[in-house]
Amino acid sequence: MQDKLFINGAFVPAASGAMFDVVDPANRQVFHQVARGGAEDIDAAVKGARKAFDDGPWPRLSGAERGAILRKMGDLITERRETLARLEVRDNGKPLPEALWDIDDAAGCFHFYADLAETLTGAGEAVALPMETFIAEVVKEPVGVAGAIIPWNFPMLMAAWKVAPALAAGCAMVLKPSELTPLTALELGVIAQDAGLPAGVLNIVTGTGPEAGQPLTEHPGVDKLAFTGSVPTGSKIMQTAAKNIKTVSLELGGKSPLVIFADTPIEEALEWILFGIFWNQGEVCSATSRVLVEDAIYEPLLQRLAEESRKIKIGHGMEDGTLLGPLVSESQHRKVLQWIETGKREARLVAGGGVPEGLEAGCFVEPTIFADMEESATIWSEEIFGPVVCVKSFTSEAEAIRMANASRFGLAAAVMSVDLARANRVARAFRAGIVWINCSQPTFTQAPWGGYKQSGIGRELGIWGLNNYLETKQITTYDRSAPWGWYLKG
């Protein structure tokens, strides 16, 4: 396990010499320490990235040459998937099978952007003009030095979502992972070295938000900021970026609805409700944490949902059969339990609602189901980011759409119905950037990811993710064989 910062192609200690603890949330035990980076380290990282971009070979390589290195990084992630997944389990808490999925997805992300990098040939796209004496073309160029701040719920995968498209575009990057889950991000520095990435193209500074994240967002040497996290922090980053007119992409919170019509088979509905909220302990920005059920099947579905939730195995992520691991940290554990206490005052508690017996030493929370709350209830409107789902009934399609859209968030939404015409009609009525029909949470690197309203700005993944890190330049040429001197001659 790495314990130093990755700056300008080398692992180095923090300038202050400070370290911070890495804690296993399954037992709250410290098992490692890493460097606690600060403003001086961020400055060194940005300067390294600036030199790599301004003077180094990376943005001047062909897209195919960059793609070859990205593909090698993806291959190395695949080769080390077991080690990386086990690190994710220890510092995040998620079950090992889920961690393995994440590592596979991260490798696939690098492979996808390796392919896209090869399409960046540098050739311009012709633009039709109304005057034959001028020729115009549009070219795409890397935006420059990108600063990226990622959350703790999908440590390696969120790093891949930012790093792979930025490098494919030809950018240099400074990555600030969450202080709660720094380990696999640092291993990405090893992978970059082993893949032959030039020094300074990728820099990784671990540290807290105030000590490392804020200096990164404020640094004048950064051209673009990419952030995934909470709405309040995203708002602060926007304000900071506005001072220097930096481009910003933000993937923020969600309180996503899952609308279930009465013609949906109950067993199918159960599968996607449970996965949509309890996967990754509910620590998922797109989790379908508001479930709206047509009144004809409301009580039977609610009863079955409670029964199935009690069967979920809770435990350490390395234990066979575990489906629900601990929350990521003591502070997150405390926050979710506080939300549950609020829920007990605002709604009917159907299942869960506490700490599992025998697991008090870790940051565990039972799968929790609330029902029959008012739409004004805070547990219905606010993001809890834990294994807590709120369930309400509806009587008509119009009411379901209204309730689903009555949120300041608009990241994701889902609908289930045997009637595909109705499902598609509802899907198009949702005010959300990601919509699922007869499922919840499938995510593909090839498709855009991002939300409406307070859920963010811009899109990640697919070609849209690459465009986040590209500038568009117009080049217009005058045909010298055409008559000239028109200005001076009047």
pLDDT of residue 490: 58
Q: Which helix (H) or strand (E) holds 222?
A: none
| Spatial separation of the C-alpha atoms in residues 137 and 477, rounded to whole Å | 9
| Spatial separation of the C-alpha atoms in residues 451 and 458, rounded to whole Å | 8
Q: Work out the number of other CB atoms within 10 angstroms of the CB of residue 46.
A: 24
Catalytic residue among 109, 171, 285, 363: 285
- Tell me the DSSP string of 274-292: HHHHHGGGG--TT---EEE
| Spatial separation of the C-alpha atoms in residues 202 and 189, rounded to whole Å | 7
- Tell me the DSSP string of 379-409: HHHS---SSEEEEEEESSHHHHHHHHH-SSE
pLDDT of residue 82: 98
- What stretches in the chain show pLDDT beneath 50? none
Q: Which residue has the tokens 């390395």?
A: 318
Catalytic residue among 211, 251, 366, 383: 251
Q: Classify strands 172-176 and 202-204 as parallel, antiparallel or unpaired.
A: parallel
| Spatial separation of the C-alpha atoms in residues 269 and 41, rounded to whole Å | 49
pLDDT of residue 486: 63
pLDDT of residue 452: 98
pLDDT of residue 483: 75
Q: Which helix (H) or strand (E) holds 442?
A: none
Tokens of 250: 């933000």
Of 302, 288, 406, give the one whose Cα is nearest residue 349: 302
Task: Could you please state the CATH topology (level 3) that the domain comprising 5-252+455-475 is classified under.
Answer: Aldehyde Dehydrogenase; Chain A, domain 1 (3.40.605)
| Spatial separation of the C-alpha atoms in residues 359 and 347, rounded to whole Å | 26
251 is catalytic: yes
Pick left, alpha or beta for residue 104 (phi over 0 → left; psi -120 to 50 → alpha; otherwise beta). Answer: alpha
SS3 at position 482: coil
Long-range contacts of the stretch 102-105 (C-beta < 8 A, 24+): 102/154, 102/156, 102/157, 103/77, 103/78, 103/156, 103/157, 104/78, 105/157, 105/160, 105/443, 105/445
Task: Could you please state the CATH topology (level 3) that the domain comprising 257-437 is classified under.
Answer: Aldehyde Dehydrogenase; Chain A, domain 2 (3.40.309)
With contact defined as beta carbons under 8 Å apart, do 416 and 261 qualify?
A: yes
| Spatial separation of the C-alpha atoms in residues 137 and 130, rounded to whole Å | 14
For the chain, the domains span 5-252+455-475, 257-437
User: How is residue 39 annotated by DSSP?
Assistant: H
Angle among Cα 127, 130, 131 to the nearest 5 degrees reads 100
- Where are the strands (E) in 186-230, listed by range? 202-204, 224-228
| Spatial separation of the C-alpha atoms in residues 450 and 476, rounded to whole Å | 34
